[in-house]
Amino acid sequence: MNLILLGAPGAGKGTQATKIAERYGLVHISTGDIFRANIKNGTEIGLLAKSYTDKGELVPDEVTVAIVKDRLTWPDCEKGYLLDGFPRNLYQAEALDTFAKIDGVVNINIDHKLLMDRLCGRRVCRDCGESYHVSTLNGATKCARCGGELYQRKDDNPETVGARLAVYNEQTAPLIDYYTQKGIIHNFTGTEAPAEVLFEEVKRVLDGLLNTL
Ligand code: AMP
């Protein structure tokens, strides 16, 4: 089963992605994680990506599409994959159609008023990627799940978050129509309820989808 996870930054994609990948044995491919790893390791792609991610802008399509196209040729993708953070615009979606067959799109809709606070208060585990909100941490600096160090993403600040949300509205939101027309989208509402509540719904829909493949 090959899936796309769609939703505004802060909608809770990361947490759902981990759960979906685990339950269905899918490879979790996050373009944001790929760029962050490249930036950390100081690669050529990282140096290029940094100037865009720092501003909340999209890394150029040719670079991003080439990375994903290559990643999907790795043998582990044969068991199915979950794309998280890709595609981000129509160009990338149309490019993806030329080299991948997508079975379903999980779209998480969320009230945008919640997003600024969620993102600016977000702390992420360096090791397992679990995210937390600073208001629930009581000063803890380690991940409750794996003990890894928690950090604040450089792009989780008010200015960059504003730019990321604008990019989402202008470029990524049109993908909802694109996949609705293809008849493969499944819409969910992200709330402040625990991630497990949303995952129960996602699971019901994806179990059903899996049975039709
Ligand atoms: P994310 O972790 O998905 O929020 O991505 C963090 C940043 O990485 C984004 O703000 C972009 O600068 C860059 N990025 C991630 N995915 C893509 C993509 N599909 N196309 C272009 N840039 C991306």
**153-189 pLDDT tens trace:** 999 999 999 999 999 999 999 999 999 999 999 999 9
Which atom of ligand 1 is least distant from the CA of 160? 10
Binned at pLDDT 50, 70 and 90, residue 45 comes out as very high
Q: How far apart are CA 204 and CA 25, in angstroms?
A: 16
Annotated active-site residue 88? The verdict is yes
DSSP string, the chain: --EEEEE-TTSSHHHHHHHHHHHHT-EEEEHHHHHHHHHHTT-HHHHHHHHHHTTTPPPPHHHHHHHHHHHTTSGGGGG-EEEES---SHHHHHHHHHH----EEEEEE--THHHHHHHHTEEEETTT--EEEGGGTTT--B-TTT-PBEE--TT-SHHHHHHHHHHIIIIITHHHHHHHHHT-EEEEE--SS-HHHHHHHHHHHHHHHHHH-
Instruction: Note if 145 is an active site residue.
Output: no
CB atoms within 10 A of CB 212: 7
Q: pLDDT tens for residues 122-160?
A: 999 999 888 899 999 999 999 999 999 999 999 999 999
Q: Where are the domains of the chain?
A: 2-110+158-212, 122-155
Q: Is the pLDDT of residue 6 over 90?
A: yes
Pocket of ligand 1 (CB under 6 A): 9, 31-32, 35, 52-53, 56-59, 64, 85-86, 88, 92, 155, 164
Q: Is the pLDDT of residue 193 over 80?
A: no
Q: Distance, CA 53 to ligand 1 centroid (Å)?
A: 7
Homologous superfamily assigned to 2-110+158-212: P-loop containing nucleotide triphosphate hydrolases (3.40.50.300)
Task: Give this prediction's pTM.
Answer: 0.90
Active site residue 126: no
Cα 143 from Cα 86, distance rounded (Å): 27
